[in-house]
Amino acid sequence: MIFQASAVGSIALDLLNKHNHMRVHSIFNNGFNIVNDSNDLIFVGTNKNGYFPFGITIDKNTMHYAKEYLSVGDTVKNNRRGIDHKDFMIMLNQADIVKYEKVQPQPVDALTAVVNEFDFDKYTDSDFYPRKMREILDSLSDETKPFPLKYLVGRGSGLTPSGDDMITGILYVDALSPFVSEKHKKTLSNYLNETVTTIVSENFIKLALNGIFSSKITDLGKEVSKEAVEELLALGSSSGHDTLYGIYQTLNWR
């Protein structure tokens, strides 16, 4: 069977052009991940969770069919035309290329006001209690302090542990209004190379360090609204809420 993708992120397209083989890393109801030997990742799936810099967007019917034949570890062939699995092919010739630009600094007062309307009480008695988050944020802005994000990296369960999603939220606010020392950013980048968290989280955080985020996050700053925040909250089982908590703590720390 041959299917058509509707959109492809510029980062995903670049990876496809550089690597002629990848393998299936994980499979979900709404998509699947493929990785190369360097653990660079492409998400292939529906737009339910937004658009990703390393994503290829397909419709629900295509995903339903693909899931019937996919297995973790399967090899897929890549070329300029698309992704070729032994039982189907996803073509890119009609897909819109989604280019991702770095988030640029901008005022955060309006975003702070909207985010503060939401409830984060569930974190009070968790590993991510407010005082701990404030300690981490205090240290992030001071390069003389020990690397503070080691506490968050990989903490939690799932393909994107809660602590990692919070780091993404922190880095989003940093992109809007810079405060994290370059020394700590460099340490975080190097630390991720030690296989300290999941492949998925590693890819998200490395892009966030470069000011690149998924559409559900960048939409927050484009037109600040309660609806945009609710769209982020709906992401995954807890990823959206964890990311927003990182944003919330950072906005209010500032």
| Model pLDDT for residues 177-188, shown as the tens digit of each residue | 999 999 999 999
DSSP code for 194: T
For the chain, give the mean pLDDT.
Answer: 94
| Judgement on whether residues 132 and 239 belong to the same structural domain of the protein | yes
CB 3 within 8 A of CB 65: yes
| Judgement on whether residues 70 and 117 belong to the same structural domain of the protein | no
Nearest alpha carbon to residue 203 among 149, 247, 167, 248:
167
| Judgement on whether residues 113 and 172 belong to the same structural domain of the protein | yes
| Judgement on whether residues 40 and 134 belong to the same structural domain of the protein | no
128 C-beta neighbours (distance < 10 Å), count? 23
| Judgement on whether residues 135 and 246 belong to the same structural domain of the protein | yes
Whole-number pLDDT of residue 251: 97
| Judgement on whether residues 153 and 61 belong to the same structural domain of the protein | no
Is residue 31 one of the residues assigned to a domain?
yes
Place of tokens 């998400």: 43
| Judgement on whether residues 211 and 160 belong to the same structural domain of the protein | yes
| Judgement on whether residues 210 and 166 belong to the same structural domain of the protein | yes
| Judgement on whether residues 58 and 140 belong to the same structural domain of the protein | no
Q: Is the pLDDT of residue 254 over 80?
A: no
Residue 212 binned pLDDT confidence (cut-offs 50, 70, 90)? very high
Q: For the residues 221-249, what does the mean pLDDT come to?
A: 94
Whole-prediction pTM: 0.93
Range of the domain at 189: 109-253
| Judgement on whether residues 151 and 200 belong to the same structural domain of the protein | yes
